[in-house]
Chain A
């Protein structure tokens, strides 16, 4: 069982470039999340989705966009990359929402550097 997969694993972007971080889960989870992790700052929620066609902003959505056309996929789009977006990005999925104590399953992360 693959769980949550993310591609690419590493990427270097130039300022102003765009890219899409891919995330796929094979557990048939309705809930999916994108986080960024900066050194010493824990995980900050960028966007989340409670099902196909439904997305909502998290704590730090500026500079990012998402879409959820299928249950399995939840890509994160960076437009006009900036050095402040240098971070490690994690995708996660869960069967139910956090308020129900549902476990989140994380992918291995994408390490992005913007120069």
Chain B
């Protein structure tokens, strides 16, 4: 059972375009994290959201946690080739030591 569903699975866009990727679940999470992974490397944390309705901005990246804490989105404005990578969302339930990862969205930004 995949607790976190990410969409789309693949996304190929031109430099300068905007995009949104989604992370959805039927379960409630106490926190949700977004990681970016480049080929041949381990994932690197981008952001952690913990409050329902929370919005966090990281330069051209905007992260939102759903009011019910079941879903999240990542919006990238004016995408650049350096944004290319695999974007993974990961959720944790209160009191758990573990994270549950989605399958990821593979983003390619073409120059």
- Could you list which residues of chain A lie within 8 angstroms of chain B, going by C-beta atoms? 4, 31, 33, 35, 40-45, 48, 50, 56, 58, 90, 92, 97-101, 103-109
- Could you list which residues of chain B lie within 8 angstroms of chain A, going by C-beta atoms? 9, 30-31, 33, 40-45, 48, 50, 88, 90, 92-99, 101-104
Total A-B Cβ pairs within 8 A: 74
From known contacts A106-B44, A108-B41, infer whether A41 and B96 are also in contact, taking CB-CB under 8 Å. Answer: no
Query: Across chains A and B, which 4 residue pairs bring their CB atoms closest together, nearest first?
Result: A106-B42, A98-B92, A101-B31, A97-B97
Min Cβ gap A107→B in Å is: 6
- The DSSP consensus for interface residues of chain B is loop
Having A40-B9, A104-B90, one finds 12 other A-B pairs with CB under 8 Å, namely A40-B103, A45-B98, A58-B98, A97-B92, A97-B98, A99-B31, A99-B94, A100-B92, A101-B31, A103-B45, A106-B42, A106-B43
Evaluate contact between B98 and A98: CB separation under 8 angstroms: yes
How far apart sit A40 and B8, CA to CA, in the bound complex (Å)? Answer: 12
